Structure 1
């Protein structure tokens, strides 16, 4: 059943119904994936999980050394499986893998496909408010949301080049009814964007809350591996980091000026 929202509307129009799904590209996210699914489950109509045994081809050496270690039976045997569609394959690029989910979601009649990577988390109340904001602004190609990006642990966030705590507004959802697909990584092939105000909701991004081994897997297999020297960045930035370190971004160093210690209240699924 589609998620129901009530909108301001002219007399006689009545309720509108919108169908929302999330999708996840699952590789090297063993520690997060079940929390991610739990985060989305109560809010959406469907969860698409694209699983490949092999990494993408951005780093030509990665395919020789890395394999997907996650056991899909953990998902299949979970209480969330009634809303989950697992798509298995091998994809050369991030956008190819995401488009496998977009194509299936469009076929299944979804209106909006949320980009909900395994290390991205939301308060339940804010998740619903973000979806409602999208449904009340239905005719955009895609939607962006701000995020806090955590570093090493959930005690530190990265700061932007001007010291801002919200370090970016990445793509949150695409409008499948407008024929939107992914053109480059999570970036869509169309341009009409609506930015969700931070007062409505933000993402708590655990992207760099990783052990050294997990971090090495990430930077050697992700969609930016060809834009950086993973070994150099790992040794010179990640390993040597302290609270006084600056210029931390792996692609554009000044974009993450430094870290800041915080005591944030975290989304519910991260408290377990």
Structure 2
């Protein structure tokens, strides 16, 4: 696979475009290709207007010192379709833009893959799995570290870090957001920090009015619940995910002045581990031999 772009990262750009700079900082060195997709008509999946200033694209160009970043503009909002349908559609269109072959990693701008080199080392070590993705599809899930709220002293974080996030595939045929329904799915012990709900009030309102989950639950009611969380009552929260019971068990608190301090602190306490492919040695050998022909 000489000269093949094996590590491909795709971003969906929308109302929270400013977060992407923190995210790209952690993955840029180890990615072979980065595609940033955004709506040509300045629309969110809910059909609301957004404005991404020219200065954003100028700043992207400044950090792209190795010419790895491709900007992909298309009509991603279609009237009559539900937000989650549009998100899934955009992910598939972006996968097409990223091209066949390689590991497809789709991220949101507020997701931070610290020590990304550990992950790409694992993927490159198993690049033989890229030979026939339609026949041997592999999907890798990682551990979400979801930041739920921020105060002046730090971040309230959903614990334990058991929520899984579909992140990587060799066969990008998305059926629901980043989730595929093909081949083998394996969980990797890798942490992906998700800033998620740790934003200002006005940003949360914008988020819940425009994201893919807009119609999945009573977002206004959940926003009122979120606003009341503070350092005095956060320990009382148990099993509070708005859709899936048992997914968000409780909140912990990690001191940090800003997101960069949080990532630095968290990465010291929870360093990324060396990753291993959890399949039998016999199966690995068969897949490797198959890749030779």
The TM-score range, normalised by the shorter chain, is 0.7 to 0.9
Which residue of the partner structure matches residue 221 of structure 1? 210
Superposition deviation, residue 119 in structure 1: 1.0
Alpha carbons of 1:239 and 1:98: their partners in 2 closer, same or farther (altered >3 Å)?
same
Which residue of the partner structure matches residue 178 of structure 2? 186
* Contact 1:35-1:270 within 8 A present in 2 as well: no
Residue 90 (str. 1) matches residue 75 (str. 2): yes
* Contact 1:156-1:259 within 8 A present in 2 as well: yes
Which of 10, 17, 28 is the equivalent residue of 2:15?
A: 28
* Contact 2:155-2:198 within 8 A present in 1 as well: no
Alpha carbons of 1:158 and 1:76: their partners in 2 closer, same or farther (altered >3 Å)?
closer
* Contact 1:145-1:202 within 8 A present in 2 as well: yes
TM alignment of 1:118-137, pairs within 5 A? 118-124=109-115, 127-137=116-126
SS in 1 for 2:164: coil
SS in 1 for 2:196: strand
Alpha carbons of 1:191 and 1:240: their partners in 2 closer, same or farther (altered >3 Å)?
farther
CA RMSD of aligned residues (A): 2.8
Superposition deviation, residue 270 in structure 1: 10
Which residue of the partner structure matches residue 50 of structure 2? 67
* Contact 2:163-2:247 within 8 A present in 1 as well: no
Report the Cα distance in structure 2 between the residues aligned to 1:268 and 1:45, rounded to whole angstroms. 25
Which of 107, 110, 114 is the equivalent residue of 1:116?
A: 107
Residue 80 (str. 1) matches residue 97 (str. 2): no
| TM score, norm. by length of structure 2 | 0.71
SS in 2 for 1:255: coil
SS in 1 for 2:95: helix
Superposition deviation, residue 263 in structure 1: 4.6
Which residue of the partner structure matches residue 241 of structure 1? 229
Say how many residue pairs are matched: 236
Which of 142, 146, 161 is the equivalent residue of 1:145?
A: 142
**Per-residue deviation, residues 173-193 of structure 1 (Å, max 9, x unmatched):** 110xxx432111111241311
* Contact 1:21-1:113 within 8 A present in 2 as well: yes
* Contact 2:104-2:172 within 8 A present in 1 as well: no
- Unpaired runs of 5+ in structure 1? 4-16, 57-61, 160-164
Which residue of the partner structure matches residue 273 of structure 2? none
Report the Cα distance in structure 1 between the residues aligned to 2:266 and 2:203, rounded to whole angstroms. 18
Alpha carbons of 1:55 and 1:75: their partners in 2 closer, same or farther (altered >3 Å)?
same
Report the Cα distance in structure 2 between the residues aligned to 1:214 and 1:135, rounded to whole angstroms. 37
Report the Cα distance in structure 2 between the residues aligned to 1:269 and 1:78, rounded to whole angstroms. 28
Superposition deviation, residue 87 in structure 1: 0.8
**Per-residue deviation, residues 65-117 of structure 1 (Å, max 9, x unmatched):** 4424454423443221611111112224111111122112125xx40111221
Alpha carbons of 1:96 and 1:38: their partners in 2 closer, same or farther (altered >3 Å)?
same
Alpha carbons of 1:250 and 1:80: their partners in 2 closer, same or farther (altered >3 Å)?
farther
Alpha carbons of 1:22 and 1:75: their partners in 2 closer, same or farther (altered >3 Å)?
farther
